[in-house]
C-alpha cells in the first residue's frame, strides 16, 4: 500500500468517526445538523491534538539534554506545538493524500539537480513548502514516493537509483544533491552504500534518526524495526561508511524533534551537523529557518559543483 492510499483511507475513517460522534452529540442535545457537524469536527481536532501531544510526551521521556542556546520559553513551546500540529494536519489531511511524484527541469539551472526523499509514512507531498523555493531559484528537482509504506529501507534503494538515473538523464548533470527527511536520510545513506558516491554532490538530511529513535518501537513495518535505537541494521550501515562519504552529508535537526528521540540521534559523526531549536519533526519541512538552511546548503553545493566543472 502507498502512503497516499493509506492516508485517504484514514481520512475516510476519520470522517466516518467524526460524523457518528457529531450525530450522537446532536441527538443528545436535540440540536440541528450544523451543531452536529461542528461537534464532530471539534471531536476530531481534539483527538488529533491528543495524538500530537502524546508524541511530544513520548519523545520527552527519551530526550537528550537540550543545549543552553537551544532551550525555549513556555511561550515558544506553545508556538512549537502549534506549528507542529498545523504542519501535521496539513500534510496528512491535504498535501500528501493528493500528491503525485514528479519532476521539474530548468534548462538554465546552475547547480546540480535535487532529488527529494520523504520519511516514514509520508510521500512526495511532504515537500510542498520546499519545492516553491527550488522553483524560485530555478533548481531542477524531482520527488519520489517510497513504497510500500512498511517496506524495508533496503527495498527503497532501487527506487532511488532509478530516480537518480532519470534526473541526471533529464538534466544532463553528472551529480545530484539528495535532500531527505527523516527515514529518507537513511534511504539515501543505504543508496550510497550500494551505489557509491560518484554521482553525489551533497546529501542533506533533515530530522533523520541516524542512530535510531526510541519511538520506532511503536512503528509498524520492517523500516520501523530498522530505525530502532542503535540496531544491527543501523550499525551495519555506519560500518559501511568512511570519512569521505560522511563528509558529503549535512545533517539538519532540531533539539525539540518530537519523533526522533533522543534528538542527538540526528548528529552524525564526520558529517556537517546543523542544530536548531523550537521546531517539531513534521514542521522541519515547513519552518522558514530550516528551509533557509537547506537553500544555503544547496547554494553552497551549486557553487562547489560549478568550481569542479571549471
For 7-21, the pLDDT digits (tens) are 999 999 999 999 999
**263 and 160 belong to one structural domain:** yes
**109 and 78 belong to one structural domain:** no
Q: What domain range includes position 262?
A: 103-309
Tally of structural domains, the chain = 2
**115 and 241 belong to one structural domain:** yes
Whether residue 33 is predicted with pLDDT greater than 50 in this model: the reply is: yes
pLDDT range class, residue 310, cuts 50, 70, 90? very low
**78 and 112 belong to one structural domain:** no
Picking from 64, 98, 132, the residue at the C-terminal end of a domain is 98
pLDDT at residue 309 in the model:
42
Is the Cα dihedral 156, 287, 270, 297 positive or negative? positive
Q: Which residue has the cell 521539474?
A: 104
Distance (Å, whole) CA 144 – CA 166: 11
Report the b/e string of 253-284 with b at 16+ CB within 10 A.
Answer: bbbbbbbbbbbbbbebeebbbbbbbbbbbbbb
Whether residue 298 is predicted with pLDDT greater than 50 in this model: the reply is: yes
Please write the tens of the pLDDT for every residue from 42-59: 999 999 999 999 999 999
pLDDT average, residue stretch 86-109: 95
**176 and 241 belong to one structural domain:** yes
pLDDT average, residue stretch 67-86: 97
Picking from 48, 74, 98, the residue at the C-terminal end of a domain is 98
**141 and 216 belong to one structural domain:** yes
Distance (Å, whole) CA 137 – CA 109: 8
CATH of the domain at 241: 3.40.50.1820
pLDDT range class, residue 265, cuts 50, 70, 90? very high
**169 and 300 belong to one structural domain:** yes
CB atoms within 10 A of CB 81: 18
Whether residue 306 is predicted with pLDDT greater than 70 in this model: the reply is: no
Strand ranges for the chain from DSSP E: 103-104, 114-117, 141-143, 176-181, 200-206, 249-254, 272-276
Whether residue 304 is predicted with pLDDT greater than 80 in this model: the reply is: no
Rounded to 5 degrees, what are φ and ψ at 51?
-65, -45
pLDDT at residue 208 in the model:
98
**89 and 142 belong to one structural domain:** no
Cell numbers found for residue 217: 518501537
**91 and 172 belong to one structural domain:** no
**0.85 exceeded by pTM:** yes
**20 and 69 belong to one structural domain:** yes
**Angle subtended at Cα 158 by Cα 131 and Cα 233, rounded to the nearest 5 degrees:** 100
**61 and 135 belong to one structural domain:** no
**93 and 165 belong to one structural domain:** no
pLDDT average, residue stretch 123-133: 98
Whether residue 216 is predicted with pLDDT greater than 70 in this model: the reply is: yes
pLDDT range class, residue 194, cuts 50, 70, 90? very high
What secondary structure letter does DSSP report for 279?
-
Picking from 98, 117, 137, the residue at the C-terminal end of a domain is 98
pLDDT, mean over the chain: 94
pLDDT range class, residue 308, cuts 50, 70, 90? very low
Amino acid at each position: 500500500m502507498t502512503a497516499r492510499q493509506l492516508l485517504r483511507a484514514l481520512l475516510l475513517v476519520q470522517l466516518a468517526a467524526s460524523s457518528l460522534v457529531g450525530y450522537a452529540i446532536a441527538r443528545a442535545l436535540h440540536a440541528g445538523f450544523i451543531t452536529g457537524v461542528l461537534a464532530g469536527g471539534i471531536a476530531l481536532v481534539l483527538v488529533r491534538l491528543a495524538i500530537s501531544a502524546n508524541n511530544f510526551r513520548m519523545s520527552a521521556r527519551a530526550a537528550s539534554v537540550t543545549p543552553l542556546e537551544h532551550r525555549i520559553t513556555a511561550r515558544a513551546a506553545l508556538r512549537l506545538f502549534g506549528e507542529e500540529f498545523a504542519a501535521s494536519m496539513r500534510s496528512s489531511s491535504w498535501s500528501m493524500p493528493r500528491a503525485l511524484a514528479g519532476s521539474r527541469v530548468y534548462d538554465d539551472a546552475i547547480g546540480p539537480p535535487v532529488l527529494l526523499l520523504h520519511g516514514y509514512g509520508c510521500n512526495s507531498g511532504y515537500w510542498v513548502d520546499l519545492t516553491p523555493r527550488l522553483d524560485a531559484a530555478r533548481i531542477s528537482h524531482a520527488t519520489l514516493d517510497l513504497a510500500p509504506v512498511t517496506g524495508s529501507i533496503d527495498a527503497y534503494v532501487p527506487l532511488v537509483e532509478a530516480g537518480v538515473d532519470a534526473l541526471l538523464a533529464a538534466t544532463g548533470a553528472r551529480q545530484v544533491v539528495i535532500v531527505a527527511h527523516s527515514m529518507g536520510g537513511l534511504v539515501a545513506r543505504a543508496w550510497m552504500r550500494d551505489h557509491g558516491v560518484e554521482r553525489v554532490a551533497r546529501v542533506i538530511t533533515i530530522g533523520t534518526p541516524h542512530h535510531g529513535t526510541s519511538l520506532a518501537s511503536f512503528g509498524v513495518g520492517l523500516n520501523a524495526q530498522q530505525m530502532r535505537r542503535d540496531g544491527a541494521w543501523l550499525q551495519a550501515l555506519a560500518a559501511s561508511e568512511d570519512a569521505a562519504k560522511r563528509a558529503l552529508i549535512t545533517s539538519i535537526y532540531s533539539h525539540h524533534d518530537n519523533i526522533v528521540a533522543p534528538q542527538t540521534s540526528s548528529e552524525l559523526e564526520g558529517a556537517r551537523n546543523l542544530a536548531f531549536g523550537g521546531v517539531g519533526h513534521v514542521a522541519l519541512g515547513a519552518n522558514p529557518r530550516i528551509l533557509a538552511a537547506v537553500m544555503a546548503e544547496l547554494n553552497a553545493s551549486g557553487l562547489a559543483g560549478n568550481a569542479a566543472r571549471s
